Each structure stands twice: as structure tokens, then as C-alpha cells.
Amino acid sequence: MHATMKIIGMTCAACSARIERVVAKVEGVESVSVNLATEILNCDFDDSKISVDTVKQAVEKAGYQWAELVKKGAVDEDKIRKENEIKTLWRKFKVSAIFVIPLLYIAMGTMISWISAPVPTVIEPMAYPLNFALIQIILVIPILIAGRRFYYVGYRAIWLRSPNMDSLIAIGTTAAIIYSLYATVQISLGQLAYVESLYFESAGVIITLILLGKSLEAVSKGRTSEAIKKLMGLAPKTAIVIRNDRESEIPIEEVVPGDIILVKPGGKIPVDGVVVEGTTAIDEAMLTGESLPVEKQTGDKVYAASLNKNGAIRFRATKVGSDTALAQIIKLVEDAQGSKAPIAQIADVVSGYFVPVVFVIAVLAFAAWMLSGQSLVFSLKIFIAILVIACPCALGLATPTAIMVGTGKGAENGILIKSGGALELTHKIQTIVFDKTGTITEGKPEVTDIVTYGGNERIKILQMAASAEKGSEHPLADAIVKGADQEGIELLAGKEFEAIPGQGIKVRIDNDLILIGNKKLMEVQNIESEHALKDADRLAGEGKTPMYIAVNHKLAGMIAVADVVKTSSARAIKKLTDMGIEVVMITGDNSRTADAIAAQVGIKRVLSEVLPQDKSNEVKKLQAEGKKVAMVGDGINDAPALAQADIGIAIGSGTDVAMESADIVLMHSDLMDVPTAILLSKHTIRNIKQNLFWAFAYNVTGIPVAAGILFLFGGPLLTPMFAAAAMSLSSVSVLSNALRLKRFKAQH
């Protein structure tokens, strides 16, 4: 069984690592993953051994107050909670800022020569040292109250033997406060020298800067999930339902399958369904990317969140709530944003041991400076600076934030990437296998050429052919009938229809005997057609299927039908080739047709006459060559190959089975989205590597500087206040770098 939980209260990567360790130890848990950026826990477990409550208890045991099972439709609640969290953090920061400014002024005013305005005489440190100390205590108390959560969470984590970032902040600022209180007591006893040993302002500034960093971090994290919010905002909140011949507007949650729903012009479709009355044009750009409205009539499907343009319709609800196409898209994006990429494992391992190691380093540095002869105050500064600057936040946010923005950017462009692993692997693809029908081609045969003989007119040939073929169920016959319909040609009544297996058809129209079929039909019927052989060869060489048309045993014309190539196919394949990726086409068609289509789009390697069940074996053969292989397809028969490939890419207009088997779904059915997906993967992984590099580099350089390595060689000493500013900026910089992915542009 799978459970998805929202964890409240995580502050850094050490928190997520702790939860993963504790939950993984529960007997019956098969896998667990915690995403710091989304605050989501994904857990697979054996429900015959444990329940969801067992997992929740394990989360509580890890030191977190509560976790809730993520419910369908709970997005608005989560959005409100995040907005409230941001408001609370900003409010706490403002409170602490209001008090820290005078605190810093009073504490540092007499020491900084460029501050011209002196402090009031009544709190002048040399004249009234006790007042000087007491006013600082009064000012720091509201700051400590604003940052009380750091102490509650930090010390609780230490008690549970899983220290985190809050623990480092709590210990560091507590040390500064306790020593300052000790100095205040000494001042009251007449030891006036202790007036220079007050560090209330250090604790106050540290907490204020970290609250600022947390506020900026929360805002940035909110921006990483904007794609989800946009998708959520597409769905209407209410629907007009007709029950017992009465119209009533009800919340969308109350719509059930089978309800008849009325949608007026300009209204949004509330759920998926099938039109039962009326005609209209519907804008489905949010699903398909197609800018032109799609004509809808009785029997046609409609989808939630699409826009009804110009006609009132009634439709029967077929899929509601989490079953709608939009809800499935949202779930795919949410699952991807909540997943972890393999590259994140490095940060996870480091974060799990980071905080205890930092604490040990801080203690050792404190002891070393004390033994070297430095004062307690100096050594305490070193101790506090190390604890404050060393934060695993940046490490924990490096990967998930980039994945959130990357998958969100993909969703904006109609590219649904199902997992962080798929996003990471896609940029390594060396060979892409394209299915032909419905992927490179439209999958809908069309009339492409009409050749006439014996003085016959083009319109007459098409009319004769369509009138004869309207009784046939063959896909090519359907293409001819549609071709005549598109040109507004009136069909004639036919009789004595006869299908001739392997050759074509025979039918009588207005006393004329019409024969339509292949070269063999002409030969069997003794119809002279040698003069048309050149045309037939030319059309076949172009990947088209030529059909001879004879009227009263004389060749009258030839109609070519082909599954036309998508307009984007050649551009996409050229782009992939330019990127150094090998492109292969796979099809069940004969080699001549397959080679002709491949030549049109610039594909050099063709696997033709491949049976549906053998497509996955062909992918295996390519993988056996040592290549990372992606498969692009749209049909049920592509599903095994999509699953076999390292990355399966399904065309959004294809079947549910194909999309279920794939790692990436292209909602726009535009092959230019294939190179876009690969480039998006490259940009995202590069962004993750940048984030990890700077997060590691920050800590590798920051901790020695805080420990006084520069001071040892005559350089400056890093004060706790600057350490706090640097720590806050590290997380914000990682998030800002991830947000640069929002500038990524799709290929066209």
C-alpha cells in the first residue's frame, strides 16, 4: 500500500533524513522518501503488517508533532496553510527587527566611530553599566519570543538524539544569552569590566537574520510550485446540474457520474463527460496545446477546465473529482515534484551526519582556542559562529527545489515528467526510437493526390471513389469518403457492392461499373494500366498508397492515400540529430513505405515490418549496444516498448495504457516537445549540480572561516552576526538559482 503524508515542522535536511531513518526501521515498511521542499513523505508498506497510523506514529516518534494523510482536493487547504506560514514568518521577522535595531544601536553605538548620535546618558555603558545591560535584556526578550520555535524544536530534537539546524541555532544563541546574563550579574556585583562582555545583540541579530532567511525561503518555495497552482486554478468551483428537469448550481465536489450538466457559452467544463445535446466549439488548449477550438457535437468527449466558446451544450458526467484528465495531470506533476532524483542521495547521506559533526567541530574549536590562551569570550564567539554558519538547509533544498521548478516548467509546456528519476535520466539519452503511425505521422490517413486519365475531371474521380467506398470499413476507404466530405462533394447511391479480398472493391453507380483497388485488381479484370505504372511507383516511393480507379473497364484515375507526416516531425528529428542523438523509426509497415516516410523526416535508421509484440525486443537490442534508449509512442501496442525503454515518452493524444507505461507524457502531441524534454532535463540537472556545488562549497569554506582559520594567519574573525547572515543567504541563493529555471524556453 502507498501513503502520502504532509509533514509539518521540518526545518532542514537533517529533519527529512531523521524521518526517513525512523520510518524505514518500522517492520513492514518497504520504502520511504521525504522531500524537504514539498514537505511530503511517500511511503510504501505491507498493509497486512502495519497501517497508516503506524507510519504516522513513527513520524511522531521522529520528533514531529503530526502528519496528515494527503486528501484529494486538499490543495486549497495546503495553499492557505503555506500563505499563513509566510505571513507568520514575516510578522515574527518584523517584531524582531523592530527590537533588534535599537538593541544593536545601543550595544554597538559607542564602539563604532561613524555613529555620531550617542546613546542616552541614562544607559551610557561607562556611567550606568547596569542600566546598559538591563535595557538590552528588555529589548532581546521580544526577539527571543519571536524566535521561540527555534528553541522548542531545536532542544526537542537534541532530546530525541536527532539534532537539526534549529538545534545549532538554539545552542549558539543560548550560549550567548547565558554568558551575557552571567556578565550582567557580575556588573551588578561591581565587576564593571564585564560591560564589554555582553552579547545580547549577537543573539538578537542571529535570530532576526534567520527569521528573514526563513521568510524569503518560504516565499521562494511557494514560487517553485506555481505550476501546480496554475493547473489547480483552471478547474471551475461549481457546475449547473439538471436533476428532475430542474437546473441547480452545486459545488463541483457534489457532481456524480451520470449527472447531466449544462454549460453555457463562455463557461468552463466542470468535469469530464460526453455531449448528449447541442453543438459548440471548445478551447482545449489547457490539455492539448491546440490553439484552435475543437468542434463538439452529440457523442463527443469534453474535458474538465476546457472553455466552452460559442454554444450551449448538455453533457453526461463520466469522470469526476480525481478521475478527470486535469486531476490526473495534476497528480502526475505532484508525484514528480514529491519524488527524489538519484543525484539527491549524496546530499541525503551528508545531511544525516552533518549536524552532530558540526557540533563536535564547534566544541573542539572552542577547546583549542581556550588552550591556546585566548579568552573565554573569544572562544565563545568561535563556538557560536561555527554553530550558526553550518546549516544543512542549502544541501537539503538543492535537489528538490530544482526538480519542483523543472517539472513545473515542463507542465507549463505540456510535458508531464512523472518522477525526479525520469527527469535526471532523460538528459543521458543517446538513442530515441519513434513509432511511425500516430507519432511521426498523424495516424489518420488522408487523400494526398488525385491523378486523372482519359479526360476525366478530378472532382468526378473523387466523387466516384467516395461513393463506391462509403460501403467499406477499410481505413483507406474512410479517408477517401472524408476527403470528398471536406470538399463538399455529394455522394451517389451505389449498388451491387462487392469486396474482393486482397484486391479492392466492385460497385455499380448509375449503371457504371466502378472498380477500385491495387495493380492486381486491374490485371485480373484485364484493365490496361501500364501507362499509370510510373505514377504508381512515384506515389509509392513517397510513402503513399495508390489506388487505381476504373469506370466500365477503362482506367479513369488514381487516388493516393497516406498517413501524412506531422508538421513538427522533421524539425524535431533534425533538432535531435543536431544534439548528437541517434534517431530510429520503428513500424509494422513494409520497408518501402517505411523508408519513404523516414526519408521525408530525415531518419536514417529504420526498423520496418516489426510485429507489435516484437517492438520491446527491438528496444532491448538497442540497449544491448550499450545505449540509453528512449521510446516515443502512442498506442496500446507501444506500451511494452515504452516500459522496456530507459525512458518511455507517450504522446498525449494516445491511449491511457501508453501514457500509464511512460515516464514522460507529451500533452500537446508535438514532437518538438521531445528535444524540449531532453533540454529541460539537461538544464535541471545542471542546476542541481550547481546548487550542490555551492551548498557543499559554502560549508567547506564557511566552517573553517568561522573556526578562526583566517584570524590564525592575521586575517579577520567572523562574528556570529555575519555567520547568521551568511547562513540565511546560502538557502536563499540555492532557491534563487533553482528559480532561474523558470526562464527556460521550449523548443519550437
Active site residues: 435
Which residue has cell 520503428? 586
Round to whole Å and give the CA distance between 252 and 305: 12
Q: Output the CA–CA distances (angstroms, integers) from residue 192 to 135, 177, 238, in the order listed.
A: 16, 18, 72
Q: What is the DSSP letter of 268?
A: B
User: How many Cα atoms within 13 Å fall on the side-chain side of residue 331?
Assistant: 14
Round to whole Å and give the CA distance between 70 and 233: 19
Q: What is the DSSP letter of 437?
A: I
Round to whole Å and give the CA distance between 215 and 229: 20
**In 652-672, alpha helices (H):** 656-661
> Which of 277, 276, 311, 286 lies closest to 235 in space, CA to CA?
286
Q: For the range 185-194, what are the long-range contacts, defined as Cβ-Cβ under 8 Å and sequence gap of 24 or more?
A: 187/129, 187/130, 187/133, 188/130, 192/129
3-state secondary structure 26-69: CCCEEEEEEECCCCEEEEEECCCCCCHHHHHHHHHHCCCCCEEE
Under 8 Å CB-to-CB from 236, ≥6 apart: which residues?
252, 267, 268, 269, 270, 305
Residue pair 579/630 in contact by the 8 Å Cβ criterion = no
Task: Please give the grid coordinates belonging to residue 689.
Answer: 549540480
User: How many Cα atoms within 13 Å fall on the side-chain side of residue 269?
Assistant: 36
Task: Please give the grid coordinates belonging to residue 711.
Answer: 584570524
Q: For the range 246-250, what are the long-range contacts, defined as Cβ-Cβ under 8 Å and sequence gap of 24 or more?
A: none
Helices (H) and strands (E) in the chain, counts: 26, 26
Q: DSSP letter string over 157-184?
A: HHHTT---HHHHHHHHHHHHHHHHHHHH
